[in-house]
Amino acid sequence: MNYSPQQLSEFPWIASSGTLREEDLLPRFWGIADQIGATIPDTLLARLQCLVGEDSSEADWDSELATHACFELIEFLCDAAPAGFYFGASDGDGACFGFWVTEAWANALDHMGLGNCDPAGWAELIAELESDGINPENIEDSYEGTAEGWSEERAGADYAQTLVDELGLLKAAEWPFSCIDWAGAWRELEMGDGYRLHSIGAGDWLVFRNV
């Protein structure tokens, strides 16, 4: 699911830690669903109310029903996770439950050198990239590096000049020497090969192209 930047900044990335008791996990997971505004299906909601609702009692507790409800709630929260994330136990701590970036996207972020970002920043970027048709399967072919600039136009011009330096172009009748300036060179990259930029803040941009 996609969430707004404000929602992601307040997102409950860690849901529970230090316990595997279903009588502890069920109300915590239920509370997480309410916090992120995800509507629990009526059948599952009825089970939760019976097991750990305000009017439930010890006599209402059913261990087998609780186990099934816990699995259902984990699957539900997984479906409600931000784009590129899943809900479950941490790889390093089976008693720590929360929202974690998928292995595929973790590898893609690492490929782009983005291994030290907060989950909210990752989730916002992943949602933006996926809406642009960029995913872990095509990231290695579409990712072209980084650019710097206080605006998208300036960053594009910076990348066009860097690309020419990397290619070792000195004189040519074609691009980029057919352009008036580096901003024009960038516009030709945009129109010709589908180059585009995605901001990661602080004047830094990721560069992609059509594949």
Give per-residue pLDDT as tens, 170-191: 555 455 666 657 888 899 899 9
Domain count, the chain: 2
Domain boundaries, position 147: 141-211
Domain presence at residue 112: no
SS3 157: helix
Across residues 53-63, what is the average pLDDT? 90
Domain presence at residue 114: no
pLDDT at 57 over 90: no
Torsion angle defined by CA atoms of residues 165, 109, 10 and 96, in that order, rounded to the nearest 10 degrees: -160
Is there a single domain that holds both residue 18 and residue 99?
Answer: yes
Q: Which of 81, 103, 125 marks a domain boundary?
A: 103
Q: Which of 103, 133, 162 marks a domain boundary?
A: 103
Across residues 9-26, what is the average pLDDT? 96
Q: Which of 76, 103, 130 marks a domain boundary?
A: 103
pLDDT at 118 over 80: yes
Terminal-to-terminal C-alpha distance of the chain: 25
Domain presence at residue 153: yes
Is there a single domain that holds both residue 92 and residue 168?
Answer: no
Give the pLDDT score at 180.
59
Q: Per the structure block, which two tokens stand in for 182?
A: 């580096």
Q: How far is CA 37 from CA 1, 40, 80, 128, 130, in A?
A: 11, 9, 9, 21, 22
Give the pLDDT score at 174.
57
Q: Give CA angle at 142 (139, 145), nearest 5°.
A: 95
| pTM, to two decimals | 0.87
Q: Rounded to an integer, what distance in angstroms lies between the CA atom of residue 188 and that of residue 74?
A: 48
Give the pLDDT score at 191.
92
Is there a single domain that holds both residue 93 and residue 147?
Answer: no
